[in-house]
Structure 1
Amino acid sequence: MKQSVFNFIKKHHMLQNGATVLVGVSGGADSMALLHFLYHNRQRWGLHIVAVSLDHQLRGEESRLDVEFVRDTCQEWGIPFVSDSLHVPAYKEEKGLGTEVAARELRYQFFAQQMETLQADYLALGHHGDDQIETMLMSLTRSASSTAFSGIPVKRPFSGGWIIRPFLCTTKADIEIYCKEHGITYRTDETNFDTAYTRNFFRKHLLPLIKEKNNNIHTTIQYLSETRHEDESFLQEKAKEIVREMVVLDSQKHRATFKIDAFKKQAQALQRRALHLILNYLYGDLPYDLSYMHEEAFFSLLETEKGNNRIDFPFQLRVEKSYEEVLFYFPDESTQDYSYHKILHVPGEIVLPDGAVIISAEANHKVKQEKLSYGVNAGQVALPLHIRTRKPGDRMSWKGLNGSKKIKDIFIDEKIPISKRNSWPILVDNNDDILWLIGLKKGNPTSEQKDGQWIQVQYRAGSSRRI
């Protein structure tokens, strides 16, 4: 076992000379063997070893005695020791988590604190090859994501250093033999035999059956895990490039949007990972009930021929297709439809609910017409002017159009997202004739007049609207 672990450490570049290594020690065979192995081979790399042990307060007196056992052993071996007691039951209730998840979160929080306090380079954990098999099998039964099927990583960044698992190349049986050969005593956690826990069920009922067919399965699974990690790392980097190039992320409004055509030109494997990167960005912590069914719904949304469509993800995340774009957002005041009606004095200024500004000014000559400005002779319209949102039956006409057209149909023709239509600003006169569907169409005043005073109206977009 000793030489295979040395080779494994060298292969994965796990240790640097002169490094400080924290070793997570529970008192069980795996972690005690790891502590012994690293401490008694510390001169090979010039390591400084510190043992870290935690009482999760889940097994009463037994878990407290585990910590004391580790402390006594460290004192005997001359190893620096750090411990703490975690309030897992209270944290579990506060966060609404399962026992295992709550314990893991608190444990890694403490590990991170100690990494920083002791300026450690590595946190070594005693996971072995059988743990890897169990993890891969559980992933297969719990998740449809290929990302989740990568297993326990040999090495990963953590709190300014690295988590390493030197024993992933060994089995539980190897470790028990090592403990016997070196006279290492350890404690046994009786909850490890309770098959109500999923991992224990796999360990007791499935692992022995698999090993009957291939006693070296831990090596096969470890190779699969490592190659999956390498493949996944490559695909993740490519997906990150797609997100950087194609996805607009709005951190203030917690939104994301992208153009569908450009996104769909990417390989499906990269589209899927880009979706997960977007969801990680928006959620922070992914909801437990987020599943492959949401992923399927997302890809169906990209393929639908409907100009406007929407699907709902957990925690009120909305994924909305508006013609050539997809928008991810959480509904709040900035995404609600505003209805308003305001008088626009000349000269004057109106601030709309979305932060856009409408400015009117007088002019003694005909003003230039631009996309975001509108000029009209004061004698051609009924004053005062008004800015309002659409009403049922709204229609307008413009130069070159025979008759009039519904505002609803103009929005469809211009591919305006449904979510923006009810709050779109419209300039009308006092007779409610539509003069300007702002940014889209300019109407024809009912009377012709060139002399006299002119009015210029300008639109300036707010932070949440672009016309």
Structure 2
Amino acid sequence: MEKAILSFIEKHQLLRKDSKVLVGVSGGPDSIALLHFLKELRENWRLELVALSVDHCLRGEDSIADLEYVQARCEEWGIDFHGISLDVPAYEKAYGLSTEVAARELRYQFFTERMKVLGADYLALGHHGDDQVETLLMKLVRSASSTAFSGIPVRRKLADGEIIRPFLAVTKKEIEAYCEKHALHPKIDATNFETVHTRNYYRKHVLPLLKEKNSNIHITAQHLSETLQEDETYLQKEAGKILEKTTVFDEEKNSATLEINLFKKHDQSLQRRAFHLILNYLYETLPDQLSYTHEANFFALLEHTEGNAKIDFPRGLKLNKVYDKLTFHFNAQHPQPVSFHKTLTMPDSIQLPDLSTVTAELIDNKPLENPSSFYIAKSEVALPLHIRTRKPGDRMSWKGLNGTKKIKDIFIDAKVPIEERKTWPLLVDNEGEVLWLIGLKKGIRQEVNDEQFIYIQYEKGNL
């Protein structure tokens, strides 16, 4: 067993000499064997070892006894001991978590804090090859995508160091034999034999069947986990490149907008990962309610043929498709547009809700026009003029058009997003005739040599 572990450490470069190594120790066979194994390496590798042990307050006196057992082994072996009692039931109730999740969160908070305070290089944990098989089996049953189908990582970042799992190279049976060989007498948690827990069910009923077919299933599972992780790391990197080209992120993590046509040019496997990267960016923690259904809805939205469409995600996140753009945003960041109606006098300057300004004045000569200005003979309109948002039934006509056209249809033809239509300014006379759909269409005007002209200028705001 020792040779297999050392070979695994060397292969994955899990441990350096002259390092400070924290060891998560529960008192069970896996963690006690790990602590003893590292103790045996300590002198040759010049390791500074610190044992971390947690009482989760779930098994009364038994869990306190486990903590005391670990402390006694550390005193015997000359290893620094840091133990703590964490009130998992209270935390579970306060945050509405399952017992397993609550225990893990509190445990890792303690581990992270100790890593920082002690300036440790590594946190070694005792997960073994059978744990890897069980994890992959559970993921296989629950996962609906290859992204979620992953095993226990050999190493990962924690604080300023790394978590390492050198025992993934060996089985539970080998660890128990190691404990017997070295007379370690670990503590046994009776709940490990209760098959009401999912992992224990796989451990007792499923894993033995697989080992009948392949006694080295733990090696197969570890190789599968590593290759999956290598592939996933590469694909995640490529998905990140797609987002750099296609998506604009709000720095405050309130929204993200992607260019649909550019996005869809890439393989769907990368699109799917890019979608999940966006969710990871926007959500502080991913909601439990998120499922493969939301992913399917996202891809359906990309293929939606009409100009505008919306779908809702958990915690108020909305996906809003407007022609070739798809925006992820939270409700609070996108208040409902407000309609307005303002009367223009001459001279006058008014500010619209989006901070745009409209100025009006009377001039004596016909002016030069540009897309942001409009003029009309004073004698041709019913005064006063008004700036307002559209109303149901608004229509207008322009040179070259037979009859009139609905403002709504003009917006659709011009691919104006629905939200912008609600606040788009119109210039109308006192009888409701639309003279100028500002920035889009100018109505029919009689060419007259009048003494006075009304000259309107529009300046876009920066809201």
Q: TM-score range by the shorter chain?
A: over 0.9
1:378 Cα offset (Å):
4.9
Answer whether contact 1:356 1:459 (CA < 8 A) is retained.
no
Alignment-derived partner of residue 66 in structure 1: 66
Alignment-derived partner of residue 87 in structure 2: 87
Alignment-derived partner of residue 50 in structure 2: 50
Counterparts of residues 30-429 of structure 1 (less than 5 Å): 30-252=30-252, 254-332=254-332, 334-345=334-345, 346-352=347-353, 355-362=354-361, 364=363, 366-376=366-376, 378=378, 380-429=380-429
Identity %: 55
1:446 Cα offset (Å):
6.0
Paired with 2:12 and 2:393, the residues of 1 have a C-alpha distance of 70
1:97 Cα offset (Å):
1.0
Q: Structure 2: any 5+ residue segments left out of the alignment?
A: none
1:445 Cα offset (Å):
4.2
Q: Secondary structure at the match of 1:69?
A: helix
Q: Secondary structure at the match of 1:293?
A: helix
TM-score (norm. length: structure 1): 0.93
Paired with 2:138 and 2:367, the residues of 1 have a C-alpha distance of 71
Paired with 1:392 and 1:50, the residues of 2 have a C-alpha distance of 73
- Moved segments of 4+, more than 6 Å: none
1:377 Cα offset (Å):
5.0
Paired with 1:363 and 1:146, the residues of 2 have a C-alpha distance of 68
TM-score (norm. length: structure 2): 0.94
Answer whether contact 2:362 2:452 (CA < 8 A) is retained.
no
Pairwise CA RMSD: 2.0
Answer whether contact 1:381 1:445 (CA < 8 A) is retained.
no
Q: Secondary structure at the match of 1:290?
A: coil
For residues 115-166 of structure 1, give each alpha carbon's deviation from its aligned partner in whole angstroms, at most 9, with x where no partner exists. Answer: 1111111111110001001110111111112122121000111112111101
Paired with 2:166 and 2:372, the residues of 1 have a C-alpha distance of 65
Paired with 2:370 and 2:253, the residues of 1 have a C-alpha distance of 30
1:385 Cα offset (Å):
3.3
1:373 Cα offset (Å):
4.1
Alignment-derived partner of residue 444 in structure 1: 444
Paired with 2:233 and 2:266, the residues of 1 have a C-alpha distance of 17
1:325 Cα offset (Å):
1.6
Paired with 1:363 and 1:16, the residues of 2 have a C-alpha distance of 82
Q: Secondary structure at the match of 2:104?
A: helix
Residue range with higher mean Cα deviation, 387-396 or 372-381: 372-381
Answer whether contact 1:235 1:270 (CA < 8 A) is retained.
yes
Q: Secondary structure at the match of 1:137?
A: helix
Residues 368 and 254 from structure 1, CA distance in 2 versus in 1: closer, same or farther, beyond 3 angstroms? farther
Paired with 1:43 and 1:443, the residues of 2 have a C-alpha distance of 90
Answer whether contact 2:375 2:453 (CA < 8 A) is retained.
no
1:114 Cα offset (Å):
0.9
- The count of residues paired between Structure 1 and Structure 2 equals 461
Residues 250 and 449 from structure 1, CA distance in 2 versus in 1: closer, same or farther, beyond 3 angstroms? farther
Answer whether contact 1:344 1:350 (CA < 8 A) is retained.
no
Q: Secondary structure at the match of 1:148?
A: coil
1:77 Cα offset (Å):
0.8
1:87 Cα offset (Å):
1.8
Paired with 1:91 and 1:448, the residues of 2 have a C-alpha distance of 80
Paired with 1:328 and 1:436, the residues of 2 have a C-alpha distance of 33
Answer whether contact 2:373 2:455 (CA < 8 A) is retained.
no
Paired with 1:233 and 1:99, the residues of 2 have a C-alpha distance of 31
Residues 398 and 173 from structure 1, CA distance in 2 versus in 1: closer, same or farther, beyond 3 angstroms? same
Residues 402 and 242 from structure 1, CA distance in 2 versus in 1: closer, same or farther, beyond 3 angstroms? same
Answer whether contact 1:15 1:45 (CA < 8 A) is retained.
no
1:316 Cα offset (Å):
3.0
Q: Aligned letter for 2:407? A: I
Q: Aligned letter for 2:167? A: F
Answer whether contact 1:379 1:449 (CA < 8 A) is retained.
no
